[in-house]
Amino acid sequence: MQELRVSSDTSAFEVPAVLDAQRRLTGDCTARALAMMDTHGLVVLTGLLSEAEADFGLELTRRTIEDPDRSHSTFASETDNSYKRRDFCSLPANAEVNGFAAMLAQRLEGIYREFCGLSRPVLEVATFTSYLGSSHQYIHRDPAGVISLFAALEDVSQAQGGTVFVPGTHLYGGMENTHGGQARALMELFRILCNARIFRHNLTKLRAMRGSTATPLAPGEFRDRVFSTKWDQHQPNLLRFLTGKNAQFSLRNLTPGTLWKLYRNRDELTRLFALVQAAPRKGSVILYRSDLMHAGPDNRSPQPRRFFGMSIARDMIERKYWHDGYSPHPTLQANPLTLGDLLEMPPAPVQAAPQQECALAG
Ligand SMILES: [Fe+2]
């Protein structure tokens, strides 16, 4: 996005995955990944999955995406979902999907055990697809107390809209005392600054899509994305913006006092915080603390952007609040899984690609 400065350099948050003979992350690699998550709130584990493993996962997600009876997620932009700009849906808790989730959990066991107890629930296993013309989500935090995972099952380019993060904005004990005791306030100011630009970007884009032959709007789509009063946290709906009903960004966020603080702290905000967009290669896995500020950008390419996602609780989580941010498949609700279950379950029987064997630790 032109108005928003976003770095595409994620090298400071990457750890190349090194596996042991049991195909689990080595102790050294686990320690490096944990340090990254503590410091920045996220880690990008490059090359965690072999080609064959990523292909296996991609086939599982394809099957769900092609299923007319798939179970849509309810928390993202429902308007984008309804106009096929996004397709966020949960995967059924069948043997293959559970096996793939188990393979990931077991490979990352050292990290998961550090954050999550064995009895903590798997909140969702899902696939997140964005198509050309989707809205750029507002910068937000997911419900706290969760470790979320995105796996790139194919290469994701910048234009396809790899996730944007604001490293270092995760919430932890004593965080309030950082940045001269102003951490919370400064993070919120930065979020407002970004979201004002995202609001403008989404409106400008929708105006350009009117009459566009490359990205035509569906009948009623402009009205539903700009003038509807329906609940949707990630559209630039003007009425919800003006009446302060969008919890992510609205006129309420732009009081004279806030505008003055934004002006007064403009240099400090740029010095302290930055937006970083991941464009992970096939087989890379991103782990992040759910309270880290982030957003799913718009897909600006004709190629659909797909991610596999899995979220596991770190703490007890109030059920209604859980469903605000995560959409477990009905089969997962009927047969709940915990981290302990995933660690004991037989993993998906996928052959490792020969070239990855050389990355194994001795
Ligand atoms: Fe999110």
Which CATH class name applies to 8-178+275-344?
mainly beta
| pLDDT exceeds cutoff 70 at 339 | yes
User: Residue 120's pLDDT is what?
Assistant: 95
Judge whether 326 and 123 are in contact, CB under 8 Å: yes
Residue 324 pLDDT class (50, 70, 90 cuts): confident
User: Residue 354's pLDDT is what?
Assistant: 45
Residue 361 pLDDT class (50, 70, 90 cuts): very low
Provide the whole-model pTM. 0.92
| pLDDT exceeds cutoff 60 at 75 | yes
| pLDDT exceeds cutoff 70 at 333 | yes
Between the two ends of the chain, the Cα-to-Cα distance in Å is 44
User: Residue 2's pLDDT is what?
Assistant: 46
Write the CB contacts of 27 (distance below 8 Å, at least 6 apart in sequence). 110
Question: What distance in angstroms lies between residue 294's CA and the mean position of ligand 1's atoms?
Answer: 6
DSSP letter (8 states) at residue 235: S
Token pair 């998906």: residue: 348
The phi, psi pair for 307, rounded to 5°, reads -130, 150
Q: Where are the domains of the chain?
A: 8-178+275-344
User: Residue 351's pLDDT is what?
Assistant: 65
Question: What distance in angstroms lies between residue 353's CA and the mean position of ligand 1's atoms?
Answer: 32
Average pLDDT over residues 63-87: 87
Among 258, 268, 260, residue whose Cα is nearest residue 183: 268
C-alpha 114/C-alpha 25 separation (Å) is 13
Average pLDDT over residues 208-226: 91
Element at 200 (helix H, strand E): helix 183-209
| pLDDT exceeds cutoff 80 at 353 | no
Question: What distance in angstroms lies between residue 362's CA and the mean position of ligand 1's atoms?
Answer: 38
Question: What distance in angstroms lies between residue 90's CA and the mean position of ligand 1's atoms?
Answer: 15
Give the tokens for residue 206: 């929708």
Question: What distance in angstroms lies between residue 130's CA and the mean position of ligand 1's atoms?
Answer: 14
Question: What distance in angstroms lies between residue 143's CA and the mean position of ligand 1's atoms?
Answer: 9
16-71 tens-digit pLDDT: 999 999 999 999 999 999 999 999 999 999 999 999 999 999 999 999 999 999 98
Strand order in the sheet with 164-165: 6-7, 275-277, 164-165, 294-295
Question: What distance in angstroms lies between residue 292's CA and the mean position of ligand 1's atoms?
Answer: 9
241-294 tens-digit pLDDT: 999 989 899 999 999 999 999 999 999 999 999 999 999 999 999 999 999 999
Token pair 């020969």: residue: 354
| pLDDT exceeds cutoff 50 at 356 | no
Region of residue 145 (phi > 0: left; psi between -120 and 50: alpha; otherwise: beta): left
Question: What distance in angstroms lies between residue 4's CA and the mean position of ligand 1's atoms?
Answer: 19
| pLDDT exceeds cutoff 60 at 240 | yes
C-alpha 73/C-alpha 58 separation (Å) is 18
Residue 352 pLDDT class (50, 70, 90 cuts): low
User: Residue 326's pLDDT is what?
Assistant: 87
User: Residue 211's pLDDT is what?
Assistant: 83
Token pair 């037989």: residue: 346
Question: What distance in angstroms lies between residue 87's CA and the mean position of ligand 1's atoms?
Answer: 14
Question: What distance in angstroms lies between residue 142's CA and the mean position of ligand 1's atoms?
Answer: 5
Question: Per DSSP, which regions of the chain are E strands?
Answer: 6-7, 14-16, 42-46, 71-72, 86-90, 122-130, 146-151, 164-165, 275-277, 285-289, 294-295, 305-313
Residue 355 pLDDT class (50, 70, 90 cuts): very low
136-169 tens-digit pLDDT: 999 999 988 999 999 999 999 989 989 999 999 9
